[in-house]
Each structure stands twice: as C-alpha cells, then as structure tokens.
Homo-oligomer: A and B are copies of this chain.
Amino acid sequence: MSYLESYAGKAVLVTGGLGFVGSTLSRRLVDLGAHVTVIDSLIPDYGGNLFNIDGYEDRLIVNIADVRDPFAMRALVKGQDVLFNLAGQVSHMDSMADPFTDLEINARSQLSILEACRHENPAVKVVYAGTRQQYGKPRYLPLDEDHLQAPTDVNGVNKLAGEWYHIVYHTAYGLRTTSLRLTNTYGPRQLIKHNRQGFIGWFIRLAVEGREIQLYGDGSQLRDLTYVDDVVDAFLRAGVGEGTDGNVYNLGGAAPISLLELARLIVQIAGRGSVVLAPWPEERKKIDIGDVYSSYARIEAALGWKPVTALADGLARTVAYYVRYLDKYAG
C-alpha cells in the first residue's frame, strides 16, 4: 500500500486548515479518502480563508477555534489518527511588532496541543510545520538539519521553541512527532492581502495587478522555493512514514534562484508588472540573512521526498489562480 492509499478512512486533524498549506493539504486528504477536520482561528490577516476550501465544504469538518484554547484542542485531538499541526503566526514583521502574540501562538499553543495529545490521544502521529527561519543567517549553504539554529527574529525563536516542544514530547513521553522545516512555499491559496507573510505571494499579486515589484539592493539574494503541492506531499509522506518519530527534516527547492530572476520570471509569466531595485531600508537590512537555501537530502533518504514541480510550472499555476480569484484574496 502506498503512503497515499494509507490515508483512506483515516481520521485526520489539520490545525491552520483554512490557511495556505493547511487547506491545500486538507483538500488532498479529502481526495485520498481521509476523514478530515480542520481547525482554524480565522484571525484576520493570518492566512485562514474559507474560500480556500471552496468545493470541499461538505466533504470535511470545519471547526473554528484558536489553538490557544487548550480545552478545544483536548476535545478535538480525541480519536484522530494523524494531526498535521500547521497553525501559526507566520509574519516575521508582526512577530517583532507584537512578540507576545507570536509567543502565545507559536510557542505556548504548541505546548497546549502536545499536552492535549499526551493526555487524550498519545498514539496520534503529529507532523509539525517548522521553518528554515529557525537557522537564521546561514553559516554555510545549503542549510542542513545540523546547521546551528540562530534565529534573527522573534518568530524564528518561537517557531524553534514550538518545534522543540514536539521533539521533547517524543523524547520524554514517546509522542510520535515529526517536524518539517519549510522553506519559501508558494502556490495558490496563500494570503496576499498584505506583504507581511512572505514575498512570493506578494510579488505575484503585484505582477497580476500590473504593479511594480520592488527589490532591495541588487536583488541577487538567493532563495529556494517549494511549490505547495510538493510541500503537501512531504506532509503526507511524513504522516505515515516509518522511522520519522522524533525527527526533523528540511524541505527545499530544486535549485536556488535570485530574487531578481524570480521577480522577472513572475512578471514574464504574468505578462504584466515590472521590477525595480531600491536601497535597503535600515531596519530591514539589520535582519536580512543574505542567501539562503536548504538541503532536502535527509527527507529524500528517509521518505523518498523531493520537489518535483518545475518553478515555471508552479508559478504559472499560481498566477492563473490569482488572476481568476483575485477578489477572494486581495480584499
């Protein structure tokens, strides 16, 4: 039985399930025959969007709740086979403006969720969405899982804590936890209302709207990008894969690309928009981390995962999605 077939009939809980990756994962799980419950707080500006499950509303259960609510979590984890734990505050900038909220969601809530699992469902498989941001400014490239974790913003610290609670709950209590450290994920269903949740969706919005994409410096900073379907595939593999308990795995893109090349490619695919270079604002320069991209060798060896969507294809699908549904996301 393939890892995909094994989801048929499984009870699966997805926190952040109305968000970008969470909703894409939930739709896929429904297609695979899983019984899916999504939890989302629908906090404005955070990424949850009911339109993300358009066409699937009657095929999954939507439970609006905040992962900061420990009682809701205790009730909801009961009876689940797999928990995909993707709820989070993902804006680096917001984490600096309001570090306490970031801590509540990305650190404290993770403890609540793990305590809920420990008490109500210790056999559940948990896959957490970590981030390459935990590494901070690279000392070497590509980043592997043994790279020092030295985050440069509050969000990175809290995501680091959130991930390590998961690992500690494996070490101490045997919970079946795994963390995937996501790099820049792109694709349909990402929040593009504002520019505080990553640059790719924002670039695509600007291009689709025929506006200017502004890059800092010379735009030569390298990044790797993973298409959302590939990220979803990694979660699906980790959710049923053997030997993943207590382990962390990087995701990564096929090849790094400079921001300038990426922006130009988006403009080319969209057939509108433009690219301009601007000097670094002082505040942004301080927390800039230069080139950054990750090695996915560990998860490839363990689970056979690798990114398979060509960047041009993924961008074309993403641009087409936002051209069609811009009103559902730009508002």
Q: What's the minimum C-beta distance from A31 to chain B, rounded to whole angstroms?
A: 36
User: Contact: A151 with B172, CB < 8 Å?
Assistant: no
**A61 to chain B: closest CB distance in Å?**
28
> Given the complex, which residues of B lie within 8 Å of A172, measured CB to CB?
96, 152-153, 286-287
Is the CB of A273 closer than 8 A to any CB of chain B? no
Q: Do the beta carbons of A115 and B103 come within 8 Å of each other?
A: no
Contact mask A282-310 → B, CB, 8 Å, 1/0? Answer: 00001100000000000000000000000
Contact check, B148 vs A168: say whether CB atoms are below 8 A apart.
no
Cα separation A116 to B180 with both chains bound (whole Å) = 34
- Interchain CB contact under 8 A, B115 and A108: no
A154 to B115, CA, bound (A): 12
State A287–B246 Cα separation when bound (angstroms). Answer: 13
* Contacting residues, chain B, for A156 (C-beta < 8 A): 164, 168
Contact status of A100 and B108, CB under 8 A, knowing A150-B167, A151-B168, A168-B153: yes
Tell whether A146 is near chain B: CB-to-CB under 8 Å.
yes
Which residues 91-134 of A sit at the B interface, judged by CB distance below 8 A? 96, 99-100, 103, 107-108, 111, 115
In the complex, the chain B residue whose C-beta lies closest to that of A153 is B168
Interface 0/1 of A141-174, CB less than 8 Å to B: 0000010111111101110110011011001100
| Nearest CB in chain B: distance from A201 CB, A | 24
- Residue of B at shortest CB range from A147? B148
Q: Inside 8 A of A96's CB, which chain B residues have their CB?
A: 172
* Contact (Cβ within 8 A) B152 A171: yes
Is B287 in contact with A171, judged by CB distance below 8 angstroms? yes
Assuming the contacts A108-B103, A172-B96, A287-B172, asked whether A165 and B161 have C-beta atoms less than 8 A apart, the reply is no
Residue pair B149, A149 in contact (C-beta under 8 Å) = yes
Choose from B154, B165, B167 the contact partner of A168 (Cβ within 8 Å).
B154
The CA-CA distance from A115 to B103 in the complex, in Å, is 14
What's the least CB distance linking A111 to chain B, in Å? 5
A contacts, CB < 8 Å to B: 96, 99-100, 103, 107-108, 111, 115, 146, 148-154, 156-158, 160-161, 164-165, 167-168, 171-172, 286-287
> Could you pull out 10 A-B pairs where Cβ atoms are within 8 angstroms?
A99-B165, A100-B108, A100-B111, A107-B107, A146-B148, A154-B168, A157-B164, A157-B168, A160-B164, A171-B287
Closest 10 CB pairs of A and B: A161-B161, A157-B164, A99-B111, A152-B171, A157-B161, A172-B287, A149-B149, A157-B165, A103-B108, A151-B164
